[in-house]
Amino acid sequence: MLGSQLAELVWTGPEGHGAFSRDTSVVVRELFERAQHSILLSTFVVHQGRTVFEPLAKRMDEVPALHVQMFLHVGRGPRDTRYESEILREFASEFKANWPGSRLPEVFYDPRALATESRERATWHAKCVVVDDSVAFVTSANFTEWAQQRNVEAGVLVREARFAVQLRGQFEGLVDAQLVHRVPGCRLP
């Protein structure tokens, strides 16, 4: 249950005596399972995508009108001289191969992460989820099994529509200004 507090500590990892927090993987699963209209998700890295995103893919199949946007890091390695299109094609292929559902989300990336000059590169590092413009989860945890279940990670679940809309607006502003791009082949039909 998501509870009724305005803000709640979400934690992965060991807890000391008397500590009270919600588990990261439980909160993420509940957010996905309760979404009715929209989910915005941002993370640096995804591992074990088939497992980590199973509840999201299931919800997308259950609610065909659910609009899901993902903002992910698609980057160039230190000595990678391939064309941007080749890196994007490889990323999209791997993403689709590991997606557990029948419908893909829209996937966005920061093109600066693919700059050929390392001094011009940037990393997409924001980790958050916004659901139905009513609840937001901001966390240090990536969407990996380790981050969701083993690492020490801290986050906050905020049940306040104004904050959720403001956070979504930050991402929409980047899309509108074309500062982030869609990953070709990773979008809703």
Instruction: Give Cα 6 distance to the centre of its chain.
Output: 22
Residues in CB range of 103: below 8 A, 6 or more apart: 57, 60, 61, 64, 188, 189
pTM of the model: 0.91
Count other Cβ atoms within 10 Å, centred on residue 177: 8
Architecture of the CATH domain 7-13+21-182: 2-Layer Sandwich (3.30)
In the chain, where the domains are located: 7-13+21-182
Q: Residue 1's pLDDT band (boundaries 50, 70, 90)? A: very low
124-183 confidence digits (pLDDT tens): 999 999 999 999 999 988 787 776 777 778 899 999 999 999 999 999 999 999 999 999
Q: Residue 2's pLDDT band (boundaries 50, 70, 90)? A: low
18: left (phi over 0), alpha (psi -120 to 50) or beta: left
